[in-house]
Amino acid sequence: MVSGDPVDQPPDPADTSLVATQILKHKSTGPGLDLSTDGMPDVAASNIESIEPHDTSPGTNEPSAMARLRVTDAAELARGGMGSVHRVHDPGIGRWVALKRVDGEQARKLPEVAHLLLEEAQITGQLEHPNIVPIYDLGADPDGNPMFTMKLVEGSTLTAMIGGSDRRGHSPQQMRAILDALVKACEAVAYAHSRGVIHRDLKPDNIMVGGYGQVYVVDWGCALIRGHGVDREVHVTVHSAGTARTSPEAVLGTVAYMAPEQARGQLGAIDARSDVYALGAILYQVLTRRPPHRGKDAAASMQMAQAGEVTAPTELRPHFDIPAELAQIAMKALAAAPDDRYQSALELRDALRSFLAGGSWLPHRRFARGEVIIAEGALGDAAYIIVSGTCEASRMIQGAPTTIRRMGPGEVFGETAILTDQPRSATVTAITDVVLTVVTREALEGELPGSSWIGSFARALAARFREAERRADAVTNLSGRVVDAIRVHVLAGGVVHDDALEAPWAPLRSALATAFGVSALTIDEAVVGATAVAVDELRGVIRLTTS
């Protein structure tokens, strides 16, 4: 693998083939049984126009919603080696649903696919979580082939979100949205693990993102039931012992995202950490735009998966803006040894949350020594956090640049301008080579929405700081003008005392207050700290301290 490989090339079928060695024994001509609905054969709508209820609970005669389901729009949504998914209408409830069914020809060739689909429906139906697509009903077509209905998700896959960036990676907003979706996927997978279910086929295609922020982990067709205890374990009423799902010889999943123990067919070693590996593989694709196991052909991809060979994201894509911390999270999840990975999906979720909260998803910029980062008076669209190096802030005071402060790692500047939509109040220059985290106005507003109380507080504080700066400017400017007026008066009518010119202070102070339209106290404040004049309180005079 080389870093110069094209980024947007279509995925190699060798990488995304779902391998089922048990199924291959039935002389399947494809790369394997793909339960993820990739490459499903086209199915005529007439084959599913009349649906009979499928009784999975012996002794009950309750009518099934499947019995009333009729196809008014059999638009095919997806297809794969086992069957197809269609968009159909339920007239009883008045809603559109998704219907997944077994392809009749496949069912005749490989009877176990019917068992697998029934198990998928029963397993998924018992995983009641906001980020897992709910199953509505289970039934059969006139030929007795199983099918089930589920929530119709209007949206796109995580694959589409990942592919929506430019060739150098994702913008901060894109990265935030993708990671938020991945966090929700981690929570759904963690819930399934708590019920004793391992997904075994996690990949971007199996994470759906709805048009209103909904996130769903879909396609549990490869799921493996683990765990013990009636209160924890998901149960199935169909018996598929010896099928590809439970056979020790079976290798189910998608090779490009598969954990080493899963790729080696070590069924007993597959646990929650195998799904953690796949989640890490998804994160890897977020960073590099390709899955971790992509060889020149199916055999090479499988060999990479079995060995757990993964090229570091920054090595694969050195020209991408890849946050180092996020790359470390991905590589830990992708550790070849399960004990070296995050030990649960929740641990991985917490790492992603910490990354997001720390702002590490924001881009970094480098400035050379002497380079101006922001200029006084310019409009601001970003704030900065110093990662390394030293910066100096300065302002024009009485026509000359004056240093205000020096800043080092961890300090922030530029935030007032983007919070109050006002010009920059100072110039900031790199004193050494510096690395800065860039916080754009869009990113800041995403963290501090206008309706939130903390956003209101931040804007109010920024406005007050801005007003304090204006007052300080007014005092500074007044001070210069007052000192100039004192110099003119003392030089014109002062007397020499101890080699210095001086004049009575009280009458001059009163006259200056009247002339500038301020209080006498303000005149005192304007004089305090001035280097050109000094007040002698005991003698009641003001002296020129410089010629």
Q: For position 349, what pLDDT does the model report?
A: 96
Check pLDDT > 90 for residue 369. yes
Q: Give the separation between CA 22 and CA 309, rounded to whole angstroms.
A: 25
Check pLDDT > 50 for residue 18. no
**Residue 147 CA to chain centroid, in angstroms?**
35
Q: For position 118, what pLDDT does the model report?
A: 84
Q: Give the separation between CA 433 and CA 210, rounded to whole angstroms.
A: 44
Digit-coded pLDDT (tens) for 428-459 = 999 999 998 888 776 666 665 555 655 565 55
Element (H, E) at 82: none
Which of the pair, 216 or 524, is modelled with greater confidence?
Answer: 216
Q: For position 50, what pLDDT does the model report?
A: 40
Of 202, 78, 225, nearest in space to 152 by CA = 78
Check pLDDT > 60 for residue 35. no
Q: For position 253, what pLDDT does the model report?
A: 84
Q: For position 57, what pLDDT does the model report?
A: 45
The CATH class of 1-14+156-239+253-360 is mainly alpha
Check pLDDT > 80 for residue 15. no
Check pLDDT > 90 for residue 397. no
Which of the pair, 445 or 19, is modelled with greater confidence?
Answer: 445
Task: Write down the domain spans for the chain.
Answer: 1-14+156-239+253-360, 34-109+111-152, 364-447, 478-544
Check pLDDT > 90 for residue 319. no
Tokens of 261: 């123990």
Check pLDDT > 90 for residue 260. yes
Which of the pair, 59 or 96, is modelled with greater confidence?
Answer: 96
The CATH class of 34-109+111-152 is alpha beta
Lowest mean pLDDT across 67-71, 279-283, 396-400, 539-543: 67-71
Q: Provide, rounded to the nearest whole percent, the portion of the chain with pLDDT above 90.
A: 28
Q: Give the separation between CA 527 and CA 480, rounded to whole angstroms.
A: 9
The HSE-up count of residue 48 (CA atoms within 13 Å, CB side) is 33
Please give the backbone phi and psi of residue 176, each rounded to the nearest 5 degrees, phi first.
-60, -45
Q: For position 139, what pLDDT does the model report?
A: 83
Mean pLDDT of 87-101: 85
Q: For position 247, what pLDDT does the model report?
A: 60
Q: Does domain 364-447 have CATH number 2.70.98.30?
A: no
Of 248, 188, 200, nearest in space to 225 by CA = 200
Q: For position 115, what pLDDT does the model report?
A: 80
Lowest mean pLDDT across 10-14, 139-143, 238-242, 521-525: 10-14
* Average pLDDT across the chain, whole number: 77
The pLDDT confidence band at residue 27, using thresholds 50, 70 and 90, is: very low
The pLDDT confidence band at residue 546, using thresholds 50, 70 and 90, is: low
Most confident segment among 169-178, 230-239, 493-502: 493-502
Mean pLDDT of 260-280: 94
Annotated catalytic residue: which of 12, 38, 141, 201? 201
Digit-coded pLDDT (tens) for 382-393 = 888 898 999 999
Which of the pair, 540 or 238, is modelled with greater confidence?
Answer: 540
Check pLDDT > 60 for residue 85. yes
Q: Give the separation between CA 161 and CA 155, rounded to whole angstroms.
A: 11
Q: For position 37, what pLDDT does the model report?
A: 31
Q: Does domain 478-544 have CATH number 1.10.3470?
A: no
Q: Is 201 a catalytic residue?
A: yes
Of 141, 138, 123, 317, nearest in space to 235 by CA = 123
Element (H, E) at 407: strand 400-407
Lowest mean pLDDT across 69-83, 245-259, 304-318, 418-432: 69-83
Q: What is the pTM of this model?
A: 0.65
**Residue 394 CA to chain centroid, in angstroms?**
36
